[in-house]
Structure 1
Amino acid sequence: MNNIIGTRSSINFTKIVFYILCSLIFKSVSAQDTKGEISGTATNQEGSALSNVSIQVKETVLGTTTNNNGTFNLNAPVGKITLSASYMGYKTIEKTIVLNSSEIYYVDFKFIKKSEDLDEVLIEAHLDKEKIPTVSRSATKTAITLMNTPAPVVVVASYLLDQQANSTIQESIRNISGVTQAGNNYNIGDNLLIRGLESSYSYDGMYGGGSLGNTFNPVRSQTNIERIEVLKGPSTGLYGMGAAGGIINLIEKKPLDHEQYIVETRFGKWGHYKAMVDLTAPLTDKLSYRLVSASESEDGYRNVSSERFENYGALKFKTNKHELILSSAYIEDAIQIDPTGNPVRLVTTSLLGDPENGGYDWENLVNDTAEDEDGEYYGVQLTDDQRKVLANSLETTDGYEPFDIGDATLVSPLATPNKGKEFRVKLRHEWRPTETFTATNQVLYRNYNSDYVRQTGALNYSYYQNNGVIHDGTRSPLIIDNVIYPYAARRQEYRIVQAQEKMFQYFGDFQKTWGANNALHGEHLLSINYENRSIDYSQYSTWDTDDSRATTPVPYILDIRNPNWASGSIWDYDPILRSQYEKTVQGYGLGFQEVFYYNKFTARAGGAYLGTKQDYKDLYDDGQLVDFNDSGFAYNLGLNYRAMNQLSIYGNYSIGRTVYSVTASLDGDDRPDSESKSIDLGMRFKSKDNNLLASLVFFQTARTNLQYDNDEYEDDPNSNNYNVNVDRYFYDQENRTEGIELDVNYAVTNFLSLNANATFQDPKTLEGEDVTEEQTKGVPKTYARFWSQYKYLLGKTENPLSFNFGVSYESERSINGYSLVDAHVDSYVIFDGALAYEIGDKWNVRLNIDNIFDTRYYVKAMYSGALPGETRNFQLSVRYKL
């Protein structure tokens, strides 16, 4: 698959995939042109209605599910057909009927439990919520079964989030292939990557905060999240301005039509606690509400603290043709930032040679001998005693791996948490004037404020060559009064960021079904979006003595293993204004999709025209107003073949549009638009009773048209290389990832279930035809996760004891910056577990143990270091549900 994207071979690959799939259509022209109507109910042995029962017309993609009253309606081809009804924990029912178009055919399904064994009978009440997710709305914004979806989509159900006691989306990505932590120099917010590329975030399809090159954003909580849907690759305008990797769609909790009251409290290590209430009930026969409120705090591993207060409210008004949901959220959080983690000691390893007997010979640590025209050495000269101290401090891993500073941290008391305040309110109106037409309009207003002080730099120069000079000034070991401090941190900078983002967004999605009585039928889908963001950003900085701009320098860190910290407030060190700008971003899009259903095939073809206008005014420097306009087309083609009821094969080709940065400054260079491209070839398999769903995807995804410097450009008119005909930049760089993704959800029995995913990928950077980065910084080539649950009944009671066991693996990741060519983070394997006890239908007590064997590992590779993962962690949760 090498060099598919951006070359002629991508066209050939796409043609091959779609020719193969399309050719199968003409072998399946056996369905009749007219349809009849089926109506029916699904009940258990006691006569109680069963909701979400899957009703499928065998050998076709036609199907539906029962509603809360256990009833369903379905149109199917006339003639002899077989209906298959399945519900987890019950025996699958098949009925063959002869359908005509002149009357409604009524079918009743009465389900019988799979086993009359007492243990299984008792356990099934606890498994109702733990069904394998089989439907998603993210690929087309309309409900479609995953087995019929011609796009790479992964759905994470709420029961997994509950079992793992996840607080943030960073903890939830263990359930999704292709999603990892980003390697970056900020560590602010979530910063997740999909297939090694940036991701977008949304709540129910509407903007969910920072992406696309920002330096501030919130950490997204899971308190009000019902499930997670991830659509990989370009979304073709369905979600507005999008990142190349895909969209992480967080589905929020909605008001229910019945009473449900939940109270939960949680305690854990490092002073962790959480208190949460979740209340929902009908107010009238048409109006219902939901209120979710939570408070959570933790001192944090390595004193990286977090604090969060959340309030969510929603009202739902529903009639036969209208559903109106007004929802709001107010969140205050204070998340400490660790932008350095454990640093890599800066050693130019090529100067040292191979160490002898596990150490370095001090005589090999030579001083630079080059002199300037005044006879002064370019490099700082170390004495023999200083070189001996330095040699004794060096380890064979220095320059290659992060230096382990144990439970210490380089987060200074001068740094402050990212204090965020977020308020958003959304109005969603769904109107169904007829059975074939649905109009959904959503309006969102969001206001987010961010205020923090973060520390950068803190670099440990040990034996470093810069521009050919060994120990070039401040890039040398720290020496004070002839005393060398080999573990000192130099070139510290503290950045004070104050930012505000305001957002207005509108989405209109319109669906018209057609051909309901024909073998070939489908949906017309029209999407309209408009969004307007305004960003106010200010940054102040102060430094240590290494920077001449420091008027009141911050003290040096003399030893990263046991830091000596400056006292007082950051404002005591006279920070100066470094950056201040105002920015507005307007985005708009008009998209159309056509979804076709024919016998065993589902096809999707869509196109969109997207535009982005950015206005940037530099208030700090010259007040210049810079504006960019990016616009163009995006499209997607997808075809899904349901080879059999349990197996489907699909191909997908998407071209998307993105922007270089939405929340960062602009330099006035009107760059070509950035695009994203993705090719997917996948297959899905499910069991008859929906207790197994597995998918395998071969993919190649890229972000293209990226800017990089032309080495031949020279902007000094006095230079011999100055040439006005040489472009300053090239625009054919791309970040490309190709690989394989596997996702498995399997309820093996009523007592045993598992979730597993794995990703094998090759993320790299290309400039033209040349590979300039063999492995994207901080992105593993291989990672796999596993989570399982086993339930055991204590005696013959309704109180099951649940055991959970999980494993996570990530391969080696690269670190770059400051000439750290070979620096890396080692692979790791960590084990997690949980023990839960349910007392009837009301009480649940759960103990989660993360990192059971207390493994030392790094959860994130960063610019010149890595972020240590938590040591063994215990959390005890108690939930009461009424």
Structure 2
Amino acid sequence: MKITLKEVNWLKNLKIIVVFLILLQAPILSAQNYSSQILGITKNQSDKIVGNATIQIKGTQLGTSSNDQGRFSIAVPSGKITVIVSSIGYKSLEKTVILKTDETVSLTFELKKNLEDLDEVIINAQVAKEKVAISSGSATKSNISLMNTPAPIVVVAGYLLDQQANSTIQESIRNVSGVTQAGNNYNIGDNLIIRGLDANYAYDGMYGGGSLGNTFNPVRSQTNIEKIEVLKGPSTGLYGMGAAGGIINLIEKKPLDFEQYTLESRFGNWGHYRIMADLTGPLAKNLSYRLVSASESEEGYRDISSQRFETYGTLRYTTKKQELTVSSAYIEDAVQIDATGNPVRLITPNVLGDPNAGGYSWENLQNDPTLDKNGNFTGLQLSDDQRKTLANSLLNSDGTEPFDIGDATLVSPLSTPNEGVESRIKLRHEWKPSAAWTITNQFLYRNYKSNYVRQTGALNYVYWATSGVINDDPRAPLVENDVLYPYAARRQEYRIVDAKEKMFQYFGDFKNTWGAENKFHGEHMLSINFENRDINFTQYNTWDADDSRATNPVPYIYDIRNPNWGSGSIWDYNPILGTQYEKKVKAWGTGLQEVLYYDKFTARMGGAFLGTIQNYQDIYALGPYVDFDDSGFAYNFGLNYRPIDQLSLFANYAAGRTVYAVTSSLDGDDRPDSESLSIDFGLRYKSLKNDFLASVVFFQTATTNLQYSNDDYDDDPGSSAYNISVPEYFYDQENRTRGVEIDINYAATNLLSFNANATFQDPKTLEASTVTNEQSTGVPKTYARLWSQYKILIGKNRNVMSLNFGVNYESERSITGYGLNAHVDEYVIYDTALGYNLSKNWNLKLNVANLFNTRYYIKAMYAGGLPGETRNFQGTVKYTF
């Protein structure tokens, strides 16, 4: 890991200060534990559940929030305890009880409407104020409230997902600072990044696919998602194997103990439709269920089609001290892959003259003059007319920006969607043997398989110099029968992939809440995890005539603006087996976390040992097993200071373990372990009524010890650069991002609310401490998003109409590949939505994405850019009873 001397000194000073503060308070420790417990439920005067209410123990920083069934539990010291319950739109309510040691008391809080906050009583009756998420729930696996958490966490409430009619997590990232699309040439799965670095995915804290370079993971649906929690930076063992950027934790819908049934239908552009049913309620006194099922299909903009069928089932059994949940998921999806997007036309810079001074000169397109040993020209020789044809086809943006092919697409009909089938079953058991102890055990089995035909490579060579040779065929314009095709695409490759992954995961979390009646208390937490994955991967390949291995070449694309395609099936072109391997991954970890509370301070520190062993065997080449061990320690230290209830300041330092994709290097050497490092300084501010929450975080995040190739290495004895005595790879590359993140959630009134976030960052790539890439490929330096809602009351029945407006801004991003110095432009996209409650049960909604039909690129890809959708209408009808 590489940090500056200044940062090292700062970290030393921070650790000394915090240790001093802890030692200073040590004499006041008491042996009396928080052995008593308060169980509660929050309702309103109509006996309806009030979820997400804030629970605070008066005179302390002890606090929690009620769940979606209005229930909560909190460990407290014995003696006289005053509980304060508050929720937006209701008056705060206090109750005082006297508890004996090890006693458990159950309380019911009946909250009354707060009419003073409303302009009219009728508004209170018709319009519910949106809830600002002020608790993280499960991101840190502790009882710590969001305002006391010394770590960068963003929570996306479910109402935002519903307003925006989001179907996938890719659409939901607009609500979180620091998260954006990755730039690569696969476009398989979500491919999201946090702070320019890799992200992991979890469902309620358990593995959700991704990492280890598996590019065949699914596009994660939002159908069964209640809210999203993003924990940025290394997770330090809380979630097992970690990614440097952080964890995207998807909180799934849970059974309710009252009946609720929702039916939904959605339709829109490009043949889009979706039907969904969400059913929940009690089956017996302590048993409840939830069943969610949806079917969705779309022909897709630019033929990027998608289909999905999904079903989720959950049973939950609760007693006074135990909760047992069994959940399952089955998803079939088929998402077309656009690995090329709009390609950049390949032109060697600085040879064409100045286009702004009268246009390109065809005379500058000189043929390569060098001869080989047989006296033949090395590069393709073009006639004057052919060079004029090339010059006439050029645009000022060629070579630096993607070439806009309009609504055409380079997704070949010979390719097929990524057809995935995923099944998951999870068992969760939570046991509270006493008021101070909580023991949670979770078991997950996941099976995912995928197959697709992906087209990669559709390169439009115009005038290209490589290795000192101009137009070294096939890296040259396409000429057939003396006819030059200036817009032709060459060096096509099709990859036929069949991939399978089976995995088992166990998480055990053991938590003890301790403390005394004084201000010093805390939590001991022990986490244990184990997972075992088996991955099988097979790939066949076929090519156009530019590759000598093609026995029956696919046709050249003669014009990327109006592509011609081969007929029949990809198997008609004699693909050959190119890759077949088995990979086994065993990972385990043991972590300790300690949360300390004293007066206005909260400290969180922990360490974990994470072990990961990967075994790889190349079955196709009958190669030996290759083992890699990425085991090592991870640790974190954070301090939060809350001078007043509304304001908190925090600092966090975390070092984690990341895991190499074993296929990235098969040289048999055990590489230096890849590590991640994050330093955060932040502040949070909330209003007294909990209707406003804002955070600002200054950060530096990096992943280190990355592999990159040594340019001096060449193992070809026939090459003039032959030099096998030098290392093939170096392992001191670092991807580093520094910046600031801003998140704001504000429910201003019952009628007006908005969510806004912005990220200003400087993502770089360094090799041996030397900056080699001033802007990490595909990562924007600035992006900002806003989503707002305003409600009005219509008609005699005062039915609610909601007006939504959103905006997305993303700055310029760089494109890599083939020595390009190219980019995709910045863009601003506007969205809107209109909702109307016909009655208590019926709701209508119209969402319009890309309102002004802006042309933009959603991803900066490998030698190209992926065009975003044009204006898109979606109508939704929802019936709830």
Shift of 1:53: 2.9
Q: Give the 3-state SS of the residue equivalent to 1:220 in structure 2.
A: coil
Q: How is 1:203-242 mapped onto 2 (pairs within 5 angstroms)?
A: 203-242=203-242
**1:495-514, aligned counterparts within 5 Å?**
495-514=495-514
> 1:649–1:682: 8 Å Cα contact kept in structure 2?
yes
| Aligned equivalents of 2:461, 2:816: Cα separation in 1 | 15
Q: Partners in 1 of 2:585 and 2:46 — Cα distance? A: 58
Greater displacement, 532-541 / 4-13:
4-13
Cα distance in structure 1, aligned partners of 2:622 and 2:26: 68
Partner of 1:433: 433
Specify the alignment match of 2:734 in structure 1: 734
Residue 217 of structure 2 aligns to a residue in which SS? coil
CA shift, 1:365, in A, is: 1.1
Q: 1:583 to 1:116 in 2, by over 3 A?
A: closer
Counterpart in the other structure of 1:332: 332
What residue in structure 1 maps to residue 652 of structure 2?
A: 652
- How far 1:119 moved relative to its partner? 4.2
- Whether contact under 8 Å (1:138, 1:230) holds in the other structure is no
Amino acid at match of 1:794: I
- Mapped contact 2:465–2:471 kept (Cα < 8 A): yes
SS at match of 2:590: strand
Other-structure match for 1:75: 76
- SS for the counterpart of 1:160 is helix
Superposition RMSD in Å:
2.8
Cα pair 2:424 2:444 within 8 Å, conserved:
yes
Corresponding residue for residue 13 of structure 1: 10
What is the match of residue 347 of structure 1? 347
* Structure 2 CA distance for aligned equivalents of residues 301 and 720 of structure 1: 49
Q: SS in structure 1 opposite 2:257? A: coil
Aligned-partner Cα distance in 1 for 2:592–2:518: 22
Q: Deviations over 1:675-730 (max 9, x none)?
A: 11111111111111110111110111110011223334454679898777643332
Query: In 2, are the aligned partners of 1:18 and 1:639 still within 8 Å (CA)?
Result: no
User: Matched residues in 1 for 2:171 and 2:674: separation?
Assistant: 30
Partner of 2:415: 415
Which position in structure 1 is the counterpart of 2:385? Answer: 385
- Matched-pair contact (CA < 8 Å) for 1:647–1:683: yes
**What amino acid is aligned across from residue 402 of structure 1 in structure 2?**
P
The 1:49–1:190 alpha-carbon spacing in structure 2 relative to 1, beyond 3 Å, is closer
Paired with 1:200 and 1:296, the residues of 2 have a C-alpha distance of: 25
Q: Is the 8 A contact 1:214 1:662 kept in 2?
A: no
Q: Larger deviation: 789-798 or 283-292?
A: 789-798
Does 2:810 correspond to 1:837? Answer: no
Cα distance in 1 between the residues matched to 2:118 and 2:182: 49
Paired with 1:5 and 1:505, the residues of 2 have a C-alpha distance of: 33
CA distance in 2, matches of 1:776, 1:733: 13
Tell me if the contact between 1:581 and 1:665 (Cα under 8 Å) persists in the aligned partners. Answer: no
SS at match of 1:849: strand
Q: Residue 514 of structure 1 aligns to which amino acid in structure 2?
A: W
Q: Which residue of 2 aligns with 1:779?
A: 779
Alpha-carbon separation, structure 2, partners of 1:679 and 1:13: 11
Identify which range, 529-538 or 57-66, moves more after superposition.
Answer: 57-66
Rounded to whole Å, the distance in 2 between the matches of 1:116 and 1:555 is 69
Kindly, what percent of the aligned residue pairs are identical?
65
Counterpart of 2:694, as a letter, is: A
TM-score with structure 1 length normalisation? 0.94
Any unmatched runs of 5+ in structure 1? none
Query: Match of 1:279?
Result: 279
Partner residue in 2 for 1:794: 794
Q: Quote the residue 1:122 is aligned against.
A: 123
Which residue does the alignment assign to 1:863? Answer: 862
Question: C-alpha separation between the residues in 2 aligned to 1:116 and 1:759?
Answer: 33
Contact 1:340 1:458 in 2 (8 A): yes
TM superposition shift of 1:404: 0.3
Does 1:463 find its partner at 2:463? yes
Residue 197 of structure 2: aligned partner: 197
Cα distance between partner residues in 2 of 1:132 and 1:259? 25
* Comparing 213-222 and 38-47, the one that deviates more: 38-47
Comparing 854-863 with 97-106, greater Cα deviation is found at 97-106
1:401-800 equivalences in 2 (<5 Å)? 401-661=401-661, 666-715=666-715, 726-795=726-795, 797-800=797-800
Where 2:355 maps in the other structure, the secondary structure is coil
- In the alignment, is the contact (CA less than 8 A) between 1:287 and 1:317 conserved in 2? yes
Q: Could you say what secondary structure the match of 1:240 adopts?
A: coil
Amino acid at match of 1:579: T
- Matched with 2:846 is 847
* 1:525 and 1:594 in contact (8 A); partners too: yes
Q: Give the superposition deviation at 1:523.
A: 1.1
Distance (Å, rounded) in 2 between the aligned partners of 1:625 and 1:70: 52
Task: Kindly provide the CA deviation profile for residues 338-370 of structure 1, in whole angstroms up to 9, marking residues without a partner as x.
Answer: 000000000112211212555211111111111
Deviates more, 1:331-340 or 1:113-122: 113-122
SS of 1:135's equivalent in the other structure is: coil
Q: State the TM-score, normalized to the length of structure 2.
A: 0.94
Q: For the residues of structure 2 that align with 1:554 and 1:872, how far apart are their CA atoms?
A: 34
Taking the aligned partners of 1:561 and 1:516, their CA distance within structure 2 comes to 73
Which AA in structure 1 matches 2:834? L
Q: Does the 8 Å contact 1:118/1:796 carry over to 2?
A: no
TM-aligned CA deviation for residue 517 of structure 1: 3.6
1:563 counterpart SS class? coil
- Conserved in 1, the CA contact under 8 Å of 2:126 and 2:799? no
Classify 1:499/1:65 alpha carbon distance in 2 versus 1 (closer, same or farther; 3 Å).
Answer: closer
Question: Which stretch shifts more, 149-158 or 130-139?
Answer: 130-139
Tell me if structure 1 keeps the 8 A contact 2:368–2:471. yes
Distance 1:106 1:224, change over 3 A: closer
- The separation in 2 between residues aligned to 1:105 and 1:842, in whole angstroms, is 34
Find the aligned partners of 1:524 and 1:411 in 2 and give their Cα distance: 54
Deviation at 1:473, TM superposition (A): 0.8
2:433 match: secondary structure? strand
Contact 1:358 1:395 in 2 (8 A): no
1:610 is displaced (CA, Å) by 0.7
Kindly provide the amino acid, as one letter, of the partner of residue 512 in structure 1: N
Q: Is the Cα–Cα contact under 8 Å of residues 424 and 445 in structure 2 kept in the other structure? A: yes
Distance 2:42 2:438 in 1: 26
Structure 2: gaps (5+ residues): none
SS in 1 for 2:631: strand
User: How much does 1:522 deviate?
Assistant: 1.1
Q: How big is the shift at 1:62?
A: 2.1
8 Å CA contact retained: 2:139, 2:229: no
Question: Matched residue of 2:390: which SS?
Answer: helix
CA distance in 1, matches of 2:72, 2:237: 35
Q: Secondary structure at the match of 1:147?
A: helix
2-structure distance, mates of 1:143, 1:459: 54
Aligned residue for 1:178? Answer: 178
Shift of 1:98: 12
AA at the equivalent of 1:843: W
What residue identity is the alignment partner of 1:610? L
Greater displacement, 672-681 / 711-720: 711-720
Please, which moves more after superposition, 59-68 or 288-297?
59-68
| Whole-Å separation in 1 of the counterparts to 2:192 and 2:543 | 30
Question: Whole-Å Cα distance in 2 between the matches of residues 729 and 766 of structure 1?
Answer: 15
Match of 1:254 in 2: 254
The aligned runs of 1:40-119 (5 Å cut-off) are 50-57=50-57, 60-65=60-65, 68=69, 75=76, 85-92=85-92, 111-115=112-116, 119=120
For residues 41 and 569 of structure 1, the distance between their equivalents in structure 2, rounded to whole angstroms, comes to 61
Aligned residues: 875
Are residues 744 and 59 of structure 1, via their aligned partners in 2, closer, same or farther at CA, if it must alter by over 3 Å? farther
Contact 1:214 1:664 (8 Å CA) reproduced: no
CA distance in 2, matches of 1:682, 1:709: 37
The alpha carbon displacement at 1:274 in A equals 0.2
